[in-house]
Amino acid sequence: MPEGGGASMSSNSLRARARPLSAAELADVHWLRALRAEERERAVGDLRAVEVAAGEILCRIGRPPTHWLGVIDGLLKMSNDSSVGAPITFTGVPPGAWFGEGTLLKREPYRYNIQALRATTVAGLSQETFHWLLDTSIPFNRFMLHQFNERLGQFIAAREIDRLTDADSRVARSLAALFHPVLYPGVGGLLRITQQELGYLVGLSRQRVNEALHALQEKGCIRIEYGGVRVLDLEGLRRHVARTGEAS
């Protein structure tokens, strides 16, 4: 696993703390189901999991990648290097998400930081097995094509909405992105996230996030529940974003 860093980093590296995935965790790795028996056997034997503490940096700008990474449980955020400009959060990374394939394909250092917003279980597939699957597995290549296509659409939409200053729209966009059924299949209908965590992702105060969530709840798009947010109408949430963008 890649080396970590940050204020809450323990003395041991992430690599030393890595362990095999449990049967329940393997069941949550959705792309495994598409592989042929030989491919799945190698991937399962290679996959490792690590527990990342809140505030710990999993990937750091400028460091070389060693694994393709996925979130089993918890929440990460992808951000820029705040030491050279205003801090920008690109996206949240919820359960079921796999990321970093572009960096592995280009064999270049990370251009973003990945940090845990809470205690998070992260799985990693070594870059050697990742490239072996690309070279040998048609099902894996098909999965990657869908992954790239969905992510491209998501980032185009994010770029269009990021110019908006309306807080309700920013919260709606962030929620719609986090409930993406293809990129983040582990989320389901209930996203376990605090208003403070959502504020970190959107760049708003907890109080302003609370106001936006209640406004979206009044529209029937979501329901605020203990420990998270349940989407009642994902298409309605997306339409709310689109209407606001057009109005601007």
Which of 124, 150, 176 marks a domain boundary? Answer: 150
The CA distance from 42 to 87, in Å, is: 39
Assess if residue 155 is contained within a domain.
no
pLDDT at 243: 53
pLDDT at 163: 63
Residue 80 sits in the same domain as residue 183: no
The CA distance from 99 to 101, in Å, is: 6
Number of domains in the chain: 2
Name the residue range of residue 31's domain. 14-150
Residue 141 sits in the same domain as residue 50: yes
Which of 118, 150, 182 marks a domain boundary? Answer: 150
Assess if residue 136 is contained within a domain.
yes
List of the chain residues with pLDDT < 70: 1-12, 81-87, 156-165, 240-248
Residue 29 sits in the same domain as residue 142: yes
Tokens standing for residue 18 = 């890595």
pLDDT at 241: 56
pLDDT at 50: 95
Which of 96, 127, 150 marks a domain boundary? Answer: 150
217: which residues sit within 8 A by CB, 6+ positions away?
223, 224
Q: What digits encode the pLDDT tens for the residues 145-159? A: 999 988 887 776 666
| H-state helical runs in the chain | 14-17, 23-27, 37-46, 101-106, 127-136, 138-161, 167-178, 195-202, 206-218, 234-247
Residue 117 sits in the same domain as residue 37: yes
pLDDT at 88: 72
Q: What digits encode the pLDDT tens for the residues 4-18? A: 444 333 335 777 889
The CA distance from 212 to 203, in Å, is: 13
pLDDT at 144: 94
CB atoms within 10 A of CB 40: 18
Assess if residue 53 is contained within a domain.
yes
Q: What digits encode the pLDDT tens for the residues 193-228? A: 889 888 888 888 999 999 999 999 999 999 999 889
pLDDT at 189: 81
63: which residues sit within 8 A by CB, 6+ positions away?
2, 3, 109, 110
